[in-house]
Amino acid sequence: MRVIFLTYNFPPEQVANSHLASDLVNDLAGLGMSVEVVTQMPTRNVDDQTRLAFKGKKREVRGSIVINRVAAHFDEQGFLLKRLIHSLLVSAGIFLRALFIKGDVIFAYSTPPTMGLTGVILSKVKRIPLLYNLQDIFPDSMLNSGVLKGGPILKLGRWLENITYKGSNRIAVICEDFKRIIMSRGVPERKIAVVYNWIDEQQVVPVCRTDNVLISRYNLAADKFYVTYCGNIGLTQNLELLVDAVHSLREECPDLHCVIIGEGAHKPSLENYISGRNAGNISVFPFQPYEDIAHVYSLCDIGVVISKQGISKNSFPSKTWSIISASRAVLASFDEDSELCQKINSIGCGICVPPEDFNSLRIALVNAYNKRGMLAEMGAKGRKFINDHLARRAGTAQFYRLISELTPITKSEAPEATGSDVLPEVINIEKNL
């Protein structure tokens, strides 16, 4: 079975879904599928040496995996129109390259939204089915963040959304909330599968503070109480609220230190905000190499998930799974009626407070600081949940099954032991989630 795998970002790029794409491609190949990835040249969170190493490297063969790379025309950071032009150009390049690749099914990620349209057109031209993985509901995410107010770009977004949903044979969403939203927009339930973003539980493991490479790399004190935020630094995250809450505790909780790790368009503004308050108990570091991911999420005593009000309607922060996979407690400043907070409460792996609520966030930080034994118990519960329900092998096996359902294979073509061992496990996991 041959899969044409369309993704805007792929390692060595370090973005939210690049490790998921890499896991899935490798596991599908391990289950007997041939996978041709079509992506852009590395641009996001890579150094000049890496860019130079991949310059002109348009095709790479790794056994049954082939990686095709198309030109990235310019740095995609910046104003909205520039990013839209860049995504259109890259998506066009991906379409043209994929057009000449033989395949039985197309897999496409939803970021950026132009990738959905690319997948739909390619599906129609090649007359093969499309499996669309919805990681973010666009244009709602931009509306809620304030990036979009209306106008032609919003209309374009709604058109892209409608065309993509109609043109996809199956849509895999990352949470039940997403399923309800797209069903309200006319997508039939039979077309939707809920596949939570998994965690490589063997990669994201608890690391002892004394062994954590970030302690020596950034000359951090090993005996402090660390609160961390790891991920995209954008408008929707509302990190100024976290800064204000932490800064207000500099005397009440003298050993409390906040570390923010990530990149994003809003990062320079956030750094200026921190500097303007002379917040000495807050540090900002860049994205770390993926091989250090266990150290990144193990640094904290409690990891923060934070956003503005209403963001849960179009976003599910899968970084939560990374925090609890490292056996750390979660503090979510997030819509309390969201699926995320329902999961945190049912697992018992953290604390939820209302978004944009300074007092609640501050009180939660003080309670966490004073009840560290409670945090350890929460971390243990979270790690158990990952092992039981969201391990990598179980997650990628669900996509193997979805792809197989779109392109039925004969018994002789199916992988003998690996696939048959995995699929029954998937059914059991889905019943428990």
Q: At what angle do helices 339-347 and 372-389 cross, to 10 degrees?
A: 110
Lateral strand order in the sheet of 225-230: 282-285, 256-261, 225-230, 302-306, 329-333, 350-353
* Residue 174 clears pLDDT 60, i.e. is over it: yes
Contact 381, 348 (CB under 8 A): yes
Quick one: what percent of the chain has pLDDT higher than 70? Answer: 89
Domains of the chain: 2-198+391-432 (3.40.50.2000), 209-387 (3.40.50.2000)
Most confident among 154-158, 388-392, 413-417 (mean pLDDT): 388-392
What does the pLDDT look like over 335-391, one tens digit per residue? 999 999 999 999 999 999 999 999 999 999 999 999 999 999 999 999 999 999 999
Confidence band of 429 (pLDDT split at 50, 70, 90) = very low
DSSP for 224-247 reads SEEEEEES--SSTT-HHHHHHHHH
pLDDT for 421 equals 36
Confidence band of 400 (pLDDT split at 50, 70, 90) = very high
Beta strands in 71-188 (DSSP E): 105-109, 130-134, 170-173
pLDDT for 108 equals 97
What does the pLDDT look like over 124-153, one tens digit per residue? 999 999 999 999 888 776 666 666 666 777
The C-alpha angle with vertex 399 and arms to 396 and 401, in degrees rounded to 5, equals 115
Q: What is the mean pLDDT of residues 61-76?
A: 85
CA proximity to 32, closest of 427, 404, 406 = 404
Listed range (155-159, 371-375, 419-423) with the worst mean pLDDT: 419-423
pLDDT for 262 equals 93
pLDDT for 107 equals 98
* Residue 395 clears pLDDT 60, i.e. is over it: yes
